Structure 1
């Protein structure tokens, strides 16, 4: 059965980090009941370095996974375990914070050498960051860091566009992220030209969302066209069908995951199950004992 569009969420423009202008698609305890297991989605996009150059200096995370997807420009990152690098256009950083990690993410324009290499001739910095909840029995797990280059992420050409497979699978093609069975996430980047169709099987009972990056499309056969900046919430069913009309193309992110249906206690970059766990995390920050596991696993 094809899933119908059951609702839309429109984000809001805000600032985070040290003054980065971004578009918060969704986020917060109340909305998380609808988007479970997904907690937050931010879209960042600007051609003005002064709107993003101050970045996201050192900050902690516990109890969640963060997925950073860079589309234009680059993000320089570093964490408390000494790992550092650069996320370039098309790359993904998938980090399981687990019991706790400090990191910083600093968006930058590409320099002259990188512009020649990537043929991106502007100062744009554009991408997405998604937060995924961890189940109660995994919130204090050892951190896991995954850095994926664009060339490591399968990209399947379809009639009228393509599907980039970060996690989950599309037509039997698996994404490179082997995330846990508790949430079983799917993360697809889909691009369609005018008069094209995208069809995908999804699991019954899973939360399914689509964020429209640009353009517009019909996200079920009977829905009106839904335009960029909107988050599509799907009803139940086991199929997704998206169509573009004669004059419009679309680019969107499709997310699917098994809802955890667990209590949420949220304080900034820390998401746990109880207020007592939040107080414990804040105590750890004060005492300098926030990092519980010193050696994260790399995948």
Structure 2
């Protein structure tokens, strides 16, 4: 029998520490994708990744993100821990609990209210924006609520758990296969556990790791990264390889195939031209923003 070859390790471009900033109605987040540390071409099709670090809030203390619009992207709210309410202007509403995820395709337009009326307690979550292709920015909006128990969760190696929110890992596919080919995986590793995650093919040139817990050594040269740090991998093909540190390791892996399209971004609107952005504001100001009722 031929001995299986170890996968080629994907080189690391840089490790950095995202700065904290205020978001929504005034809560503190860590922004990795979408910060000045990374160029848009580094992270295409991802536009933004914010972590709400684990925080224990008193009842009514967490302000949430009151009513605001979106157009032109997917927004993904992954609620790692806690309870987060959501409603939109068309009467859709729901609650995300520990480990739940909401994949929202804003497309032609959504107006929603997130996380207000928080009952208090621990909150830890992630908000991610993924660009939509120009041809699909005005599609009807849609939601997919993924309950924690329904998200495929596997053990690809001893001591390594992979929660597959989008894309695939070790032959197991996610429930969500978005329009844009992406991988969004929450990897949790016990102390000293190791794994090499292979991306589907060489077209997945974008690859970012956001560490939220513990520490580890990444890549063939064992670059260190700990909670609150982010790794940008190079665009060369290769597996994402790591060994967890003494306290274990938790991180989000975001990988994808770039759209390579113009991005014109103004606040909650991400379009392809300045004229389309202007139209967003005109629609919003004249009460014509919502073009379709979002479907679940």
In the superposition, the TM-score normalised over structure 1's length comes to 0.90
Aligned twin of 2:141: 143
Number of residue pairs matched by the alignment: 283
The DSSP-based 3-state class of the residue aligned with 1:57 is strand
Counterparts in 2 of 1:240 and 1:28: CA distance versus 1, 3 Å: closer
- For residue 75 of structure 1, report the CA deviation from its aligned partner: 0.7
CA displacement at 1:54 relative to structure 2? 1.2
Q: 8 Å contact 1:64–1:134 — kept in the other structure?
A: yes
Partner of 2:99: 90
Give structure 2 stretches of 5+ with no counterpart. Answer: 1-7
Counterpart of 1:120 in structure 2 is none
Q: Which of 5, 11, 17 is the matching residue for 1:10?
A: 17
Stretches of structure 1 that go unaligned for 5 or more consecutive residues are: 112-122
Query: 1:177-205 CA distances to partner (integer Å, 9 max, x unpaired)?
Result: 1211xx21111110111221122111213
Cα shift at 1:109: 5.6
Q: CA deviation at 1:8?
A: 2.5
1:259 aligns with 2:267: no
* Secondary structure of the structure 2 residue equivalent to 1:60: strand
Hey, what does 1:130 align to over in structure 2? Answer: 128
* More off after superposition, 99-108 vs 73-82: 99-108
Are 2:193 and 1:196 equivalent residues in the alignment? yes
Distance 1:28 1:251, change over 3 A: closer
| Candidates 56, 59, 71, aligned match of 2:65 | 56
Query: Is residue 222–residue 242 contact of structure 2 (8 Å, CA) maintained in 1?
Result: no
| In structure 1, distance between residues paired with 2:110 and 2:130 | 15
Contact 1:109 1:125 in 2 (8 A): no
Structure having the higher helix fraction is 1
What is the distance in 2 between the residues matched to 1:40 and 1:170?
23
Mapping of residues 150-189 of structure 1, within 5 Å: 150-157=148-155, 158-180=157-179, 183-189=180-186
Q: Aligned partners of 2:42, 2:17: CA distance in 1, in Å?
A: 14
Residue 280, structure 1, aligned to residue 287, structure 2: no
Match of residue 3 from structure 2: none
Distance 2:279 2:268 in 1: 14
- Please name the residue that 1:214 is paired with: 213
d(CA) in 2 for partners of 1:222 and 1:151? Answer: 36
1:244 aligns with 2:253: no
2:85 maps to 1:76: yes
Query: Is contact 2:60–2:118 with CA below 8 Å preserved after alignment?
Result: no
Deviates more, 1:66-75 or 1:6-15: 6-15
Question: Is the counterpart of residue 38 in structure 1 residue 12 in structure 2?
Answer: no
Contact 1:73 1:109 in 2 (8 A): no
Cα displacement (A) at 1:28: 5.5
Q: CA RMSD in A?
A: 1.8
